[in-house]
A and B are shown apart, each in its own frame.
Chain A
Amino acid sequence: MSEAKLVKFKINGQEIEAPAGTMVIKAAHEAGIDVPHFCYHPGLTPDGNCRMCLVEASNARKPVASCVTPVAEGLEITTDSDTVKEAREGVLELMLLNHPLDCPICDKSGECMLQDNVYDHGPDNSRMTEPKMMKPTKDLGSTVALWGNRCIVCQRCTRFCEEVSGTGELAIIHRGDSSVVDVFPGYPLENDLSLNTVDICPVGALISKDFLYEARVWNMKDTPSICTGCSKGCNVEIQQERNQTRRIVPRHNPEVNDYWMCDEGREVFKPAVSEDRLLDYQLRTADGTIDTNPKNAASAIFNGLNQVSANHGTQAIAGIGSAFMSCEELYVFKLLFDGLQTPHLGAFSRPQREAKSFKQFEIPGDPNPNRLGVERILGREALEENLEKILSGIQNQSIRGALIFDDLLDWDLPAEWQSALSQLEFLAIFSLRDRTHLPQHSCLLPATTFGEKDGSMLNGEGRLQRLRIATQLPRTIRYEHEILQQMQQELGMRSKVVPPSALFKEMGKAVWPQLEISTIRELGDQGIQVESPTENPQRATVS
């Protein structure tokens, strides 16, 4: 990209430099000067229809919309003159003419740009005495509902559907103050990015049906993390209230997901709050009783595996991780099984699906958030060859004991695995769901999932990104990495259980020695590109 020429200009007397072609509003925001707006969104082309961003420019007689005015050498912009203030008041008064102001029951309330802008810049009363226009409230598709009365016709949603998803379902119908957004008859808003329109709608006109009345936004706490729905690793904000995740919204990362995320990703927290989540340890002891004390989990698995290796040799045990484990978990897992001296180390992953490509967004075909992490830490063969070897090993009775991770979302053990696992002498399985059909001699351990663990994952493009804890674990559950570390302790490989940040340090040195990442904090909120995407040409061709 050729560097655009820098242009010098002034905003409110403050000297500012920006590349030629930048719009005034963007330059102002970057310089920390507030220019209120509705229809402008940094991820969409400017439209200039809401007139909220009017400013005075030295090269125009009337106020101009700063979102469609490019910067120019020597331009002088004023954002705080009386004319501008009057213009803003006028715009807001017009916007409120037909606005229902049902903030108390509006899901957008608390993050509504109309509320904020009226509060900061609006007139203190309305001269409107006529009855307000009524517009429809209806479903636009299976995910999004429209509250027509609240629409301020900023066309962010229609531009999104044209420019980013490229599906073009939404349009503005009618004229003047009857204008409202709508879908064409028979073509509902059904695309995999539909819920982004809800995020970018500045008011509560587009509402997520899934989140409807779930929580008030000011009661929720945000945690920056990443989505674990697929190998893209979209940066997200996990919003939680009373230790329960309520919503996931995208977080800006120009290198990964820009401002967007897919609808499927917004559901990844569901298994953590689902009814049938496994919450108790079921450690089957030698005398047939079931122990539920999490403190005994590590020793139960360790003794079980040890017994098998004492009876049949160390080669008779296998470990199967998953492409949903964090890099830190995988690292401890690998060390543990190296310590147990078995080469049988595999990892489950969800089968590839068809990649989906939108105008400005790709949903990759690999639905595993940390597949690349597995390849780097356990080895590329872990995902396929080793799994096959382990399966045949179990079937021909050369493998008699296993520790298995079944923490993949929306995934079930394939039938051949289920029957094979029932032949094992000892089986320990970390699972999200209660698996009552498993053989009697197994230890069932609750797995942790999205939003509950700290650590890092390597996305499909080779970007190492940080997972953060948004919700505390249910009281009966321990972290997998703790249990794995306790098993290491039993082997004498580790003196004490350390947090994921310390594991990250160990792992960073061992797995990416050429990189000088010393602490997990360095990953920051945007992650670090540890491998260049082109280094993995096989990414595109993974079958």
Chain B
Amino acid sequence: MTTSTASPPETQQTQAPTGEKKKSTGFKFKTYIPAVITGLWNTFKHILKLDGHKTFTLNYPEEKLPVKKGYRGEHRLKKDELGREKCVACFMCQTVCPSVCIRIIAEEAPWEDRDKRPAVFEIDMLRCIYCGMCEEACPCDAIELTETYNVVATNRHAKVYDKDRLLSN
């Protein structure tokens, strides 16, 4: 360390690998021709599918990539065996959500086996960053991120999913 700082920078540069210096100042290097040819050869290898190269492009939407396990797509509100939402409107997901995109209004549940349910449950999909924290936080396993990644819509309102939309996801 101390020696390198002590030695003057100019000497370092001049003493630097002389062989390389020669190479980089040569005719071939200056005209770029070998580099261009190497690059084009690479291109042709892809076009001609030499060297085991293959096509990556998919004809989406006719062809689709298989979704990897654990992919976080659009949300779903799960249903119990009677077809009612499992959510008990505890607001844990709303509290943990880093992009504050969940809106819940709770009400008393009309059922015997639980006290509370969401009257309104909305997720603003445009604000959601698909982090999956809501799924982690849910104590009732009532919300999950599905593998649906086709998230297009023609207007903003359609991207605020209400309870029914989330239940049918």
Question: Which A residues contact B (CB, under 8 angstroms)?
Answer: 102-105, 212-214, 216, 218-219
Contact = CB atoms under 8 A, between A and B. Distances in A.
Contacts of B108: 212-213
A213 B118 CA distance: 10
Contacts of B98: none
Contacts of B115: 102, 105
Top 8 A-B residue pairs of the complex, sorted by shortest distance between their CB atoms: A104-B90, A213-B106, A105-B116, A216-B91, A104-B139, A105-B88, A105-B115, A213-B116
Contacts of A219: 91, 94-95
Given A104-B139, A104-B140, A213 B91 contact: no
Interface string B83-95: 0000011111011
Nearest to A216: B91
A104 B116 CA distance: 10
Nearest to B107: A213
A327 B138 CA distance: 49
B114 interface: yes
Contacts of A218: 95
Interface string B104-145: 001110000011100000000000000000000001100000
B107 A105 contact: no
B92 A104 contact: yes
A214 B108 CA distance: 10
Contacts of B107: 213
A151 to B, nearest CB: 16
A105 B95 contact: no
A216 B88 contact: no
Contacts of B114: 105
A353 to B, nearest CB: 34
Given A102-B115, A104-B88, 19 more contacts: A103-B90, A104-B90, A104-B92, A104-B139, A105-B88, A105-B90, A105-B114, A105-B115, A212-B108, A213-B89, A213-B106, A213-B107, A213-B116, A214-B106, A216-B95, A218-B95, A219-B91, A219-B94, A219-B95
A205 to B, nearest CB: 14
Contacts of B90: 103-105
Contacts of B91: 216, 219
A102 B116 CA distance: 11
A216 B95 CA distance: 9
Nearest to B106: A213
20 contacts: A102-B115, A104-B90, A104-B92, A104-B139, A104-B140, A105-B89, A105-B90, A105-B114, A105-B115, A105-B116, A213-B89, A213-B106, A213-B107, A213-B108, A213-B116, A214-B106, A216-B95, A218-B95, A219-B94, A219-B95
B101 to A, nearest CB: 14
A105 B116 CA distance: 6
A105 to B, nearest CB: 4
Nearest to A104: B90
A338 B95 CA distance: 53
Contacts of A216: 91, 95
A219 B90 CA distance: 12
Interface string B28-67: 0000000000000000000000000000000000000000
Contacts of B89: 105, 213
A216 B94 CA distance: 10
B7 to A, nearest CB: 61
B62 to A, nearest CB: 44
A407 B133 CA distance: 46
A213 B108 CA distance: 7
Contacts of B139: 104
B63 to A, nearest CB: 43
Contacts of A103: 90
A103 B115 CA distance: 12
Contacts of B94: 219
A218 B95 CA distance: 9
A103 B90 CA distance: 8
A150 to B, nearest CB: 11
Contacts of A104: 88, 90, 92, 139-140
A140 B99 CA distance: 40
A104 B106 CA distance: 12
Contacts of B88: 104-105
Nearest to A102: B115
B87 to A, nearest CB: 10
Contacts of A102: 115
Nearest to A212: B108
A105 B92 CA distance: 10
Contacts of A212: 108
B96 to A, nearest CB: 11
Contacts of B106: 213-214
B107 to A, nearest CB: 6
A203 to B, nearest CB: 15
Nearest to B140: A104
B51 to A, nearest CB: 58
A498 B131 CA distance: 47
A214 B115 CA distance: 13
A435 to B, nearest CB: 31
A96 B54 CA distance: 63
Contacts of B92: 104
A102 B114 CA distance: 10
B129 to A, nearest CB: 20
Contacts of A105: 88-90, 114-116
A530 B91 CA distance: 45
B143 to A, nearest CB: 13
A115 to B, nearest CB: 13
Nearest to B115: A105
